[in-house]
Amino acid sequence: MYEVANKFNFNCHMTACCCQNMEIFLNPYDILKISENLNVTTTEIIDEFILFLEDRETGLFRPILKSARTGLCKFNIDKLCTIHVNRPLSCRLFPLARISGKFLLQQAPFCTGLTDITSIKLTDYLNESSVEEYLSMSDLYHLKYDVLKNLNNGLLKNEYYNNLLNILLYDIDFFYNGELKNINSKDKFTLSLYLVDKLLDIFKLNRSYDKKMIIEELFMEGDKFIVKNFN
């Protein structure tokens, strides 16, 4: 991979080779946008399309597109992405990747588009791919992920807390039993991150709550957040 500062040679030939046999990582906002696109809950998206890979060192989970890992992505039909408008950030960026704030061109021998002589400006490519909001949501997610990765307080080793953390982060519709219908993806995402912080607070303070009280406190905090920010 090398950094793209200004221009790179690329023109997509619509082969769909980047939609198969790839580990395509998603962030919570990607999941929310796909669920918005299909008008279903995050739970339904996760059940059908997502696989969670565990980072054994940290105990954290990262979602990927399940079908694309060993075959063709289920969203690809006749070499077209059926969720193009709400496709995940990784798909928007390909053949680029963003690492530490830099845009890198991936070495992908299967991508004939990279052999095209068409030159494209980085800024034009990013604009055409409408990545701005996806990038800022991804930044927020990675900031949170880094905090979680560096947790040294046993939360991730506690099965109950770890499961709850994953529900809050990736499947907010499950937590709210599908009742967040009037809240858009961006707001759901900020609510998710807020509730993750609240869960960390509960764990840090080592309150001797039973499971019912933890859930009650999270709902109470969530309600306050919704009233303050979304009404």
Which C-beta is closer to ligand SF4: that of 65 or that of 131?
A: 65
Which C-beta is closer to ligand SF4: that of 1 or that of 151?
A: 1
| Candidate list 8, 29, 75, 175; residue touching ligand SF4; CB under 6 A | 75
Which C-beta is closer to ligand SF4: that of 44 or that of 197?
A: 44
Which residues, at least 6 apart from 169, have a Cβ–Cβ distance to it below 8 Å?
28, 144, 192, 193, 196
In the shown chain, the binding pattern of residues 85 to 114 toward ligand SF4, with x for contact by CB under 6 A and - for none, equals --xx--x--xx--------------xxxx-
How far is CA 201 from its chain centroid?
A: 23
Is 199 a binder of ligand SF4 (CB under 6 A)?
no
Which C-beta is closer to ligand SF4: that of 31 or that of 156?
A: 31
| Candidate list 60, 68, 167, 200; residue touching ligand SF4; CB under 6 A | 68
**131 phi/psi in degrees, rounded to 5:** -95, -10
Is 118 a binder of ligand SF4 (CB under 6 A)?
no
Is 70 a binder of ligand SF4 (CB under 6 A)?
no
Is 81 a binder of ligand SF4 (CB under 6 A)?
yes
| Candidate list 2, 3, 9, 14; residue touching ligand SF4; CB under 6 A | 14
119, 43 contact by CB (below 8 A): no
DSSP codes joined into one string, 85-127: GG--HHHHHTTEEEETTEEEE---TT-GGGG---EEEHHHHHH
Which C-beta is closer to ligand SF4: that of 24 or that of 148?
A: 24
CB count in 10 Å sphere of residue 87 = 23
Is 31 a binder of ligand SF4 (CB under 6 A)?
no
Helix (H, G, I), strand (E, B) or coil at 64: strand
Which C-beta is closer to ligand SF4: that of 59 or that of 95?
A: 95
Pairing outcome for strands 80-81 and 76-77: antiparallel
| Interface size with ligand SF4, residues (CB under 6 A) | 25
In sequence order, the β-bridge partners of residue 2 are 105
In sequence order, the β-bridge partners of residue 140 are none
What are the C-alpha distances in Å from 71 to residues 22, 42, 199?
8, 23, 37
| Candidate list 4, 8, 19, 141; residue touching ligand SF4; CB under 6 A | 19
Site residues for ligand SF4 per CB under 6 A: 12-19, 24, 65, 68, 73, 75-76, 81, 83, 87-88, 91, 94-95, 110-113
